[in-house]
C-alpha cells in the first residue's frame, strides 16, 4: 500500500500521535467521555493508539443526571469492553440543590458541567484531560490549540496560547496547571461519521431515526425521555420519527424529524441539511455572540 | 456575477441524493491537502477563505443568517455579505477587524479535502505565519491587484520558502477593482517572478482572482477571458502532496512510547517520519547504533505487511535491544546522524528576547534535551533579506545560530526531513515555547574550530623563565603518598626559583570538575580536563605537578599523547595495597571495605600500575624527602 494515505488515514494517524505524545509528560491523564459520537471516536482512537495495552488512563463522565437513558447504557457497556476504569462525577452541590434544566436555565450547565468538570479534575488531581472538541464546531474553537493550557483555576487565555509547530507539542507545565488536549481538532463532522462507518464504531441509537415521544417547545423538538419532563398545560407528547445530531442533556437537546435509520442515511441527511450541527444546542446561544469563547475562559471544555 | 446573498445557498453534489453509498466510497478515497493563506486584511485574505467555504458549500443556513446579521452590524461591505466575519473567530479580532492568531478551516470538494491555516499578515505576526506554515503543503500568497508586489509580499514568500513549502500560489486579488485588466496582472507577475528567483523560489502558479466577487475561484471567470486557467480550486485539487516524497525516503521512526502490556510483549509506538517498513527489514536503533530486524507491525486490526510514512504504528524487534522514547529506529544501511552541535535557522517567538548561553529545552521529534544557543551569526531582515549583525533575537526575529545540546540527538537536515530537522525551544522557567528552529547541519569541533596562532611561542615563554617546561604526573593508590611527595617537590622547585604549579585531585574537583562524579565516564573526563589544563600550563612555560590516582593506563597515555615528546614524566608512587590500607590516612579504605564507598580503586575498582614509568618511587624503601630529592635530580639533572 504505497499509495498516499487517505484523509481519514492521515487524521487517524495524527490523533494517535497526539494521544501517545501526552503520555511522555503527563502525570495523571484522563479522557473526558460524554458518550456522544465524538467521544465514541476518541475512545476508539485511544484503544488503537495503545494496543495491545489498554489505554493508560481512565474515562471520566461528568454527569448531569439529565442525559438520555440510552447514553447511560452505552457508556457502561463501552467502559466494560475497553477494560478502562470509568469515573462518573456528579456535582454534589447541584445534586443537593436539585439543579435542573427546566427551572434553572443557564445555571444548569454552569453547575453540572463547568463546575462539575473543575471539581472532578481537582478531586482526582488529573493534570491532562483529553477532550473531543473539533475546530469546525464553533468559531473560537477554530483557534484553540491542540494542547490547550489552563491556569490553576482552569481559566483559558486565548492571548497566551503556545505556538504549535509541525507535530511538536510542548506539554511542560507548572505545578497546579493543567492541559486540555484535543486530539480530533482537525476532524470535521463528516470525517467523524465516515470514520464511524469505516471502523464500525458503536454509537448511541439516538443518532438513528426511530419513533420517539416528543413535544415542541421554543422552536425545539424535545424528547420526553423520562417522567421528570414537566409537561406544560396543553402539551401532550406526540410520537414522531426523530433522531439527534448531537447528544447532551435531553431537555436541552433538540431532535430533528428524520427517517434516517442507517449510517449512510444519516450521513446523507447531514450532507443535504441546511443547518449546522450545534444549531440544536441551546448552550451556545446563552450570552450572545461570543458565548462559547466566554465559557471556555471560565473553564468549560 | 450575482450578488453572493442571492446565490443558491446549498447546492449539493447530486450523487449524495441519488446514491449515498457510492458518494461515501468516493469520498473515502480523497486525499488531504493542507495549505496556508498569506496576506493582510487589506488583501482580502479572510474574504477569500470565506468565499472558499461558501463556494464549497461549507456554510449552513443558520451560519449564513448569523453572518448576514453580523455583516450589517460590524461588516465593512455595506449591505453585502462580509465573508471575513466567518473566519475572524475571536471576539477581540471581530471588534478590531484584524486576525491575530492562526485559525484552521476545513472544506471539501469533489476531489480533495482541505485544511486551511488562516494567519495574519502583519510583520508583528510573523510567528503566527510560521506556525501555520509548518504543517502546510502549499501557500497561497495574496496580492492586492491595485498595489502589486509589496514588502509584505516579499516577506510572506520568503517565510513560506524558509519553512520549506514547495508549492506557491500567487493569488492576485481584487481584480474586479482594476477592471479585470490583463496588463495589471502581467505587470505584477513579471515583478514577482524576478523577486522569486532571487530568493530561490523556482516554481509558482499565478492566478488572477476576486475573492469578493468569486472570479476564478471555482471556475474560470467570464470577466477574464484572457486567463486560461487553472482556477484556484482546480489548482488546489491537482497539486501533489508532500507525503508522497516522505514515503520514498529512508525509513525513520522516532519512538514515542514503549508499549509493554505484559512481560511477553515489548513494542515501540510512534509515527513513521520517513520511508516505509516491513517485517524482516534490517534496522538500527539510534543513537546507540545497535542493529536488529523488524519482527511485527502490530495494530488492533491485525499485523500489517507494510507501513508507510505518516502512519502511526507499533513495531516489535527481533532482538532484545535497548530502545526507549527519544530513540530513532532507522534503516540499517542508511541511518541518520547523531550530533550535539548544530547550525540552525531560529525564529524567535517570545516577548522576552533570546539569551545567548542560557539553557533551553530543545524538543525535536520525540527527543527533549537541554540546549544552549550562541549569539546569532546574523539576523535576517525579513523585508529586505539583508543579513544584519545581532547580539540576540527579539520577538519575530529570524537568524542563523549555532547551538549545542547536552547530549547527542538523532537528526537530519530540515530540508531532508521536517520531523527530524524541525525543533522548538522551551523556556525552562516559564515553560513557554520561545522559538522554532530548522537544523542545517552538525558542526564537528575539529572541523570548524581553528587554531589561532600567537606570536609568542612556547619556547619563548619557557626561556623567559629560564627552565624547561614539564609535567610530573604522579600516579598511585589512594594513600600511597602522592600528595605528600608532590608537595615536597614543589617546595624544592620554588626554593630553586623555578616556576611551578601543583594540580591536586581534590582541589580540582572543587572547581573545574565539580560537575563530575566517580563513574568510569566521569573519571575519564576528569583526567582529560586535567590533562588539557596541564598542557596549557606547560605551554605557558611552567613545571606542572599533578597528583591523581589515575588508575587507568589508557588515560595516562592519553595525557602523554597530548604533550610534546619528553614533557610527560610519569612518576609511579609504588606503595603496595596492604601498606596503603594500613596507613589509611583519610579513613577511606575502611569506608570502602564497609561498602560505603563504591568504585574505590584497589577495592572494587582496578589499579593498572605503569609498566615503564619514567620514575618509580618505592615508598617502603625510602622516605618522602629522599623521594623528592630523587625526583628533582631526575627532572633537572
* Rounded mean pLDDT for each run of 10 residues along chain A, 301 residues in total: 74 96 92 94 97 95 93 94 94 91 85 90 94 81 82 74 90 88 92 93 95 90 88 90 90 90 89 62 45 54 55
Q: Which of B105, B134, B241 sits opposite A166 (nearest CB)?
A: B134
DSSP bridge partners of B572? B475, B616
- What is the pLDDT averaged over residues B274-292? 93
The ipTM assigned to this model is 0.88
> Inter-axis angle of helices B553-562 and B520-539, to 10 degrees?
30
DSSP state of B602: T
Is residue B563's pLDDT more than 50? yes
What whole-number distance in Å separates Cα of residue B173 and Cα of residue B189?
A: 12
* Residues from chain B contacting residue A165 (CB–CB below 8 Å): 130-131, 134-135, 422, 424, 433, 436
Cα distance between the two ends of chain A: 39
Q: Identify the closest residue of chain B to A265 by CA–CA distance.
A: B20
**Nearest-by-CA chain B residue for A146:** B104
At residue B476 the predicted structure's pLDDT band, cuts being 50, 70 and 90, is very high
Chain B residues touching A173 at Cβ < 8 A:
431
Residue B136: band (very low, low, confident or very high) from pLDDT cuts 50, 70, 90: very high
The mean-pLDDT minimum among A282-296, B414-428, B598-612 falls in A282-296
DSSP per position, A152-206: TT----GGGPPP-BTTB------TT-EEEE-TTTT--HHHHHHHHHHHT----GG
What value does the mean pLDDT take over residues B616-634? 93
pLDDT at B13 over 80: no
Q: How far apart are CA B15 and CA B17, in angstroms?
A: 5
Distance from B359 to chain A by nearest Cα, in Å? 15
Q: DSSP state, B143?
A: E
- In terms of Cα–Cα distance, which of B210, B140, B219 is closest to B180? B210
Q: Pick from A51, A188, A267: which is nearest to B20 by CB?
A: A267
Kind and range of the H or E element at B495? helix B482-495
Q: For testing the chain B interface, which of A9, A14, A84, A139 should be mutated: the one with the most B CBs within 10 Å?
A: A139
pLDDT for the residue numbered B140: 94
Per-residue model confidence as pLDDT tens digits over B81-110: 676 666 655 445 555 544 457 778 888 887
Nearest CB neighbour to A272, from listed B17, B241, B243: B17
- Asked if B247's CB is within 8 angstroms of A2's CB, the reply is yes
Whether residue A162 contacts residue B434, with contact meaning beta carbons closer than 8 Å, is answered with no
Higher-confidence residue of A155 and B150: namely B150
Say if residues B173 and B211 touch (Cβ distance below 8 Å).
yes
Q: What is the pTM of this model?
A: 0.74
Q: Is B454 among the residues known to form the active site?
A: no
Tallying the residues shown for chain A, one arrives at 301
Contact between chains at B312 and A167 (C-beta distance less than 8 A): no
**Percent of chain B clearing pLDDT 70 (strictly above):** 88
pLDDT band per the 50, 70, 90 thresholds, residue B64? low
- Reported as a pLDDT band with limits 50, 70 and 90, residue B494 is very high
**Comparison of pLDDT for B454 and B151, the residue scoring more:** B151
Give start and end residues of each alpha helix (H) in B248-322. Answer: none
| pLDDT at residue A192, rounded to an integer | 94
A142/B366 touch (CB, cutoff 8 Å), yes or no: no
Q: Is B274 in contact with B344 (CB distance < 8 Å)?
A: no
Instruction: Compute the distance between CA of residue B239 and CA of residue B218 in angstroms, rounded to an integer.
Output: 15
Mean of the pLDDT values across residues B11-22?
Answer: 72
pLDDT score for B104? 82
Annotate B426-459 with DSSP letters as a single string: E-TTT--EEEEEEEEEE--HHHH-PPPP-SS-HH
- What is the Cα–Cα distance from B372 to B356, expressed in whole angstroms? 7
- Among residues B221, B550, B561, B605, the one annotated as catalytic is B550
pLDDT mean across residues, chain B: 86
At B96 the pLDDT is 52
How much is the pLDDT for A281? 54
Q: In chain A, which residues have their Cβ closer than 8 Å to the Cβ of B276?
A: 2
Q: Does B419 touch chain A (CB under 8 A)?
A: yes
Q: Nearest CA of chain A to the CA of B278: how many Å?
A: 11
The Cα–Cα gap between B527 and B601 comes to: 15
Candidates A106, A107, A116, A122; CA nearest to A62 is: A116
Residues in a beta bridge with B112: B31
Contact A5 B422 (CB under 8 A): no
B63 contact residues in A (CB cutoff 8 A)? 276
pLDDT of residue A60: 97
Amino acid at each position: 500500500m504505497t499509495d498516499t494515505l487517505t484523509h481519514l488515514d492521515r487524521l487517524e494517524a495524527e490523533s494517535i500521535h497526539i494521544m501517545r505524545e501526552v503520555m511522555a509528560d503527563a502525570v495523571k491523564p484522563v479522557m473526558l467521555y460524554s458518550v456522544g459520537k465524538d467521544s465514541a471516536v476518541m475512545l476508539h482512537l485511544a484503544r488503537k493508539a495503545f494496543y495491545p495495552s489498554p489505554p493508560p488512563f481512565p474515562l471520566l463522565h461528568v454527569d448531569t443526571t439529565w442525559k438520555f437513558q440510552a447514553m447511560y447504557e452505552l457508556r457502561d457497556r463501552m467502559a466494560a469492553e475497553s477494560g478502562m476504569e470509568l469515573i462518573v462525577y456528579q456535582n454534589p452541590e447541584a445534586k443537593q440543590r436539585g439543579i435542573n434544566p427546566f427551572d434553572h436555565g443557564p445555571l444548569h450547565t454552569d453547575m453540572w458541567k463547568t463546575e462539575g468538570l473543575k471539581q472532578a479534575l481537582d478531586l482526582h488531581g488529573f493534570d491532562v484531560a483529553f477532550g473531543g472538541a473539533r475546530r469546525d464546531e464553533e468559531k473560537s474553537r477554530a483557534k484553540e490549540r491542540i494542547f490547550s493550557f489552563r491556569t490553576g483555576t482552569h481559566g483559558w487565555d486565548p492571548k497566551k496560547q503556545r505556538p504549535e509547530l509541525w507535530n511538536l507539542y510542548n506539554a511542560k507545565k507548572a505545578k497546579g496547571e493543567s492541559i486540555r488536549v484535543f486530539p480530533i481538532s482537525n476532524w470535521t463532522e463528516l470525517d467523524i461519521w465516515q470514520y464511524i462507518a469505516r471502523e464500525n464504531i458503536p454509537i448511541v441509537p439516538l443518532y438513528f431515526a426511530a419513533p420517539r415521544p416528543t413535544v415542541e417547545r421554543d422552536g425545539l423538538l424535545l424528547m420526553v425521555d423520562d417522567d421528570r419532563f414537566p409537561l406544560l398545560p396543553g402539551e401532550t407528547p406526540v410520537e414522531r420519527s426523530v433522531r439527534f445530531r448531537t447528544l447532551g442533556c435531553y431537555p436541552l437537546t433538540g431532535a430533528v424529524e428524520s427517517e434516517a435509520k442507517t449510517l449512510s442515511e444519516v450521513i446523507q441527511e447531514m450532507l443535504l441539511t441546511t443547518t449546522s450541527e450545534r444549531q440544536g444546542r441551546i448552550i451556545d446561544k446563552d450570552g450572545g455572540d461570543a458565548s462559547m469563547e466566554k465559557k471556555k475562559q471560565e473553564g468549560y471544555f | 456575477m450575482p450578488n453572493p446573498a442571492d446565490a443558491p445557498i446549498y447546492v449539493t453534489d447530486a450523487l449524495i441524493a441519488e446514491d449515498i453509498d457510492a458518494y461515501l466510497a468516493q469520498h473515502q478515497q480523497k486525499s488531504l491537502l493542507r495549505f496556508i493563506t498569506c496576506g493582510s486584511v487589506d488583501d482580502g485574505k479572510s474574504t477569500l477563505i470565506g468565499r472558499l467555504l461558501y463556494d464549497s458549500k461549507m456554510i449552513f443556513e443558520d451560519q449564513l443568517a448569523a453572518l448576514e446579521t453580523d455583516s450589517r452590524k460590524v461588516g465593512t461591505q455595506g449591505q453585502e455579505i462580509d465573508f471575513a466575519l466567518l473566519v475572524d473567530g475571536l471576539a477581540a479580532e471581530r471588534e478590531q477587524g484584524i486576525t491575530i492568531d492562526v485559525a484552521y478551516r476545513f472544506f471539501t470538494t469533489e476531489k480533495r479535502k482541505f485544511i486551511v491555516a488562516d494567519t495574519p499578515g502583519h510583520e508583528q505576526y510573523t510567528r503566527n505565519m510560521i506556525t501555520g506554515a509548518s504543517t502546510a503543503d502549499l501557500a497561497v500568497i495574496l496580492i492586492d491587484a491595485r498595489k502589486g508586489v509589496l514588502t509584505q509580499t516579499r516577506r510572506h514568500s520568503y517565510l513560506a520558502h524558509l519553512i520549506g513549502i514547495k508549492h506557491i500560489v500567487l493569488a492576485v486579488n481584487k481584480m474586479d477593482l482594476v477592471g479585470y485588466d490583463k496588463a495589471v496582472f502581467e505587470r505584477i507577475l513579471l515583478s514577482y517572478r524576478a523577486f522569486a528567483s532571487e530568493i530561490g523560489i523556482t516554481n509558482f502558479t499565478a492566478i488572477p482572482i476576486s475573492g469578493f466577487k468569486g472570479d476564478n475561484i471555482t471556475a474560470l471567470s467570464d470577466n477574464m477571458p484572457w486567463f486560461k486557467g487553472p482556477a484556484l480550486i482546480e489548482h488546489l485539487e491537482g497539486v501533489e502532496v508532500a507525503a508522497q516524497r516522505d514515503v520514498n525516503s529512508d525509513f525513520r521512526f522516532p519512538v514515542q512510547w514503549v508499549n509493554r502490556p505484559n512481560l511477553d510483549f515489548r513494542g515501540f509506538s510512534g509515527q513513521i517520519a520517513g520511508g516505509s517498513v516491513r517485517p524482516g527489514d534490517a534496522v538500527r536503533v539510534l543513537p546507540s547504533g545497535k542493529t536488529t530486524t523488524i519482527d511485527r507491525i502490530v495494530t488492533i486490526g491485525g499485523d500489517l505487511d507494510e507501513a508507510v510514512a505518516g502512519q502511526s504504528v507499533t513495531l516489535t524487534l527481533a532482538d532484545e535491544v535497548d530502545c526507549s522514547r527519544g530513540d530513532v529506529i532507522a534503516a540499517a544501511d542508511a541511518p541518520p546522524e547523531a550530533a550535539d552541535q548544530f547550525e540552525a535557522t531560529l525564529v524567535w517567538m517570545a516577548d522576552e528576547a533570546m539569551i545567548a548561553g542560557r539553557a533551553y529545552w530543545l524538543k525535536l521529534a520525540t527527543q527533549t534535551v537541554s540546549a544552549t544557543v550562541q549569539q546569532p551569526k546574523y539576523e535576517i531582515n525579513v523585508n529586505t533579506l539583508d543579513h544584519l549583525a545581532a547580539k540576540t533575537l527579539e520577538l519575530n526575529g529570524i537568524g542563523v545560530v549555532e547551538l549545542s545540546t547536552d547530549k547527542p540527538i538523532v537528526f537530519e537536515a530540515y530540508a531532508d526531513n521536517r520531523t527530524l530537522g524541525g525543533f522548538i525551544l522551551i523556556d525552562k522557567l516559564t515553560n513557554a515555547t520561545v522559538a522554532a528552529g530548522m537544523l542545517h547541519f552538525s558542526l564537528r569541533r575539529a572541523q570548524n574550530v581553528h587554531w589561532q596562532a600567537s606570536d609568542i611561542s612556547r619556547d619563548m615563554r619557557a626561556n623567559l623563565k629560564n627552565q624547561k617546561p614539564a609535567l610530573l604526573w604522579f600516579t598511585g593508590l589512594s594513600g600511597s603518598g602522592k600528595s605528600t611527595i608532590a608537595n615536597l617537590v614543589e617546595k624544592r622547585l620554588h626554593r630553586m626559583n623555578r616556576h611551578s604549579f601543583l594540580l591536586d585531585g581534590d582541589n580540582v574537583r572543587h572547581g573545574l570538575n565539580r560537575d563530575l562524579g566517580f563513574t568510569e565516564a566521569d573519571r575519564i573526563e576528569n583526567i582529560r580536563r586535567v590533562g588539557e589544563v596541564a598542557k596549557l600550563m606547560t605551554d605557558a612555560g611552567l613545571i606542572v605537578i599533578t597528583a591523581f590516582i589515575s588508575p587507568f593506563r589508557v588515560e595516562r597515555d592519553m595525557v602523554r599523547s597530548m604533550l610534546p615528546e619528553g614533557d610527560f614524566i610519569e612518576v609511579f608512587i609504588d606503595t603496595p595495597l596492604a601498606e596503603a590500607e594500613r596507613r589509611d590516612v583519610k579513613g577511606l579504605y575502611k569506608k570502602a571495605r564497609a561498602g560505603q564507598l563504591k568504585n574505590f580503586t584497589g577495592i572494587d575498582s582496578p589499579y593498572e600500575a605503569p609498566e615503564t614509568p619514567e620514575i618509580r618511587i618505592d615508598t617502603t624503601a625510602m622516605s618522602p624527602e629522599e623521594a623528592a630529592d630523587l625526583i628533582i635530580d631526575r627532572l633537572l639533572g
